[in-house]
Amino acid sequence: MHQARAQVQSVRVVSSTWARDSHDLFDFEATDLHRKIFTALKPAVCVRTGTDVQMVSEHVPVNNMYDPLLRLAQKDGAFWVDRAPPSSGSKKLWLVVRDMPSGAHHLQEGDVIKLGRFKFRVRQLVGSGEAQPELKLDDSSSVCRVNPGGETELAQTLCRICLLEGPGEGDPLISPCLCKGSIEYVHLGCLRHWIRGRLNLSDSTGGSYFFRPLPCELCKAVYPTYVQNDAEPQPMPLVEVPWTKPPFIVLENMVRDSQQHACRGLHVISLAEKVLKLGRGHESDVRIADVSISRCHAMIRFQHGHFQLEDNNSKFGTLVAMKKPRLLEPGQGVSIQMGRTVLSLSAQTDVESLEAPTPIRHGPSGGAADERQLRLALLNRFSGARPDGWTTEHPGDAAQLPGEADE
């Protein structure tokens, strides 16, 4: 490893920028991309103005005319990629899944993935065992206490759904929202029956479902996730969900305020008998009806003990948020998207790479497949590695940049 690092002499950077500026998207099928090739011999910052990408010295102050894209740092003879300074104001870095070794990303809990303009957070990955989905969204993890007024006090109290008085056998009255007065209480069983009808949790294979916090239709307060009966040690889920067969994944819809039509919630999907499909098509397990999503956009499969995310040649790509600075290792190119620009970077060990870049064609080409081939060819031209010789990505690649915290 140290030997390999010592040999790195430069980084080849291929920048591709989509002519349009739309929702921070990059069109992987576009043929009118603005492309440039750079060879970086020392630390640099990648900036963009309009569709023009430039590499500047990291000591040159970046003015407001430029969008900072990415920082190429150098430590102990190795090159690293990191967010451009100031990291708070610069664009997020997204790893392009289709350009990863073997075309797949090993998912980990906490990963944020992006399809078109939709984001999901990987909340839970369970390969085997007895674990069940944790149905907790940040703002809806409240617990409702059973019979807060006491059994006898509620004997004359009406359930707002069935209009019967008092708690039933094993069916307490609860006060689940902000409603007060004659509609404050409801039987747990009556509320569960109503929620079951709204969430449509039945008839799924392997116990897959979409869980979303439901609000009270009157006061709009979100119903609690769990109900705590003082007689029982553990709170029980308010919603009776099916048993989910492992391996399964829990994906959270990351809904922005502007996406009122979209629904915040958790996709619980069992991969026991199938490959998970995400897309716009009806056959998708996670269906997203949006123009930025391809019919079959991406897939997640459980293989060799890992949850693997794959892109299905989607128009606007499948991306994974880069959480930490990333080491550039020779023979392992990486493509990173920042808004409408994709930068493909590869560490070069060969002196040939120091020669002037080969001019490459601009303008119309033969479509998405050619586009990808071109990008990969440029990545590998001087590194001596072939795509089929790449090893799979491992988390250690994204270790902390040495000495970074001291700066």
Site for Zn ion (CB under 5 A): how many residues?
A: 10
Q: What is the dihedral of CA 252, 117, 81, 311, to 10 degrees?
A: 80
Measured from the CB atom, the residue of 223 and 248 that comes closer to Zn ion is 223
The CB-of-214 to Zn ion minimum distance in angstroms stands at: 11
- Residues 290-329, interacting with Zn ion (CB under 5 A): none
In angstroms, the CA 30 to CA 51 distance is: 14
Q: Please, what is the minimum distance in Å from the beta carbon of residue 260 to Zn ion?
A: 21
Give me 27's structure tokens: 């069109």
Nearer CB in complex with Zn ion: 187/212: 187
Listed residue (321, 314, 313) closest to 338, CA to CA:
321
Max Cα separation, the chain?
88
Q: How far is the CB of 399 from Zn ion (least distance, A)?
A: 49
177 makes contact with Zn ion (CB under 5 A): yes
156-167 burial, b at 16+ Cβ within 10 Å, e below that, comes to ebbbbeeeeebb
216 touching Zn ion, by CB under 5 A: yes
Could you give the CA distance from residue 268 to residue 146 in angstroms, rounded to a whole number?
Answer: 27
Answer for which of 4, 137, 179, 254 binds Zn ion (CB under 5 A) is 179
- Residue 41 as a binder of Zn ion (CB under 5 A): the answer is no
Cβ nearer to Zn ion, comparing 97 with 190: 190
**Under the phi-then-psi rule, with left for phi > 0, alpha for psi from -120 to 50, and beta for the rest, what region is 183?**
alpha
Mask: binding to Zn ion, 127-166, rule CB under 5 A, as x and -? Answer: --------------------------------x-xx----
Q: Which of the 8 DSSP states describes residue 20?
A: S
Residue with tokens 């020669």: 355
**Residue 250 near Zn ion by CB under 5 A:** no
Rounded Cα–Cα distance for residues 147 and 185 (Å):
9
Nearer to Zn ion, 164 or 351 (CB): 164
φ and ψ at residue 289, rounded to 5 degrees: -85, 85
Q: Which stretch binds Zn ion (CB under 5 A): 20-28, 183-191, 235-243, 339-347?
A: 183-191
Minimum distance, C-beta of residue 223 to Zn ion, in the bound complex (Å):
9
Is position 218 an interface residue for Zn ion (rule: CB under 5 A)?
yes
How many other β-carbons are positioned within 10 Å of the β-carbon of residue 112? 17
Q: CB of 386 within 8 A of CB of 332?
A: no
Distances (CA, A) of 159 to 152, 173, 187, 217: 15, 7, 6, 16
- Smallest gap from Cβ 268 to Zn ion, in A, equals 26
What is the smallest separation between the CB atom of 218 and Zn ion, expressed in angstroms? 5
* Identity of the residue numbered 335: S
We find the least distance from the C-beta atom of residue 191 to Zn ion, in angstroms, to be 8
Exactly one of 41, 131, 143, 219 binds Zn ion (CB under 5 A); that residue is 219
Closer to Zn ion by Cβ: residue 144 or 342: 144
Q: Which stretch binds Zn ion (CB under 5 A): 51-59, 76-84, 217-225, 352-360?
A: 217-225
Report the interface residues with Zn ion, using CB under 5 A.
Answer: 159, 161-162, 177, 179, 187, 190, 216, 218-219
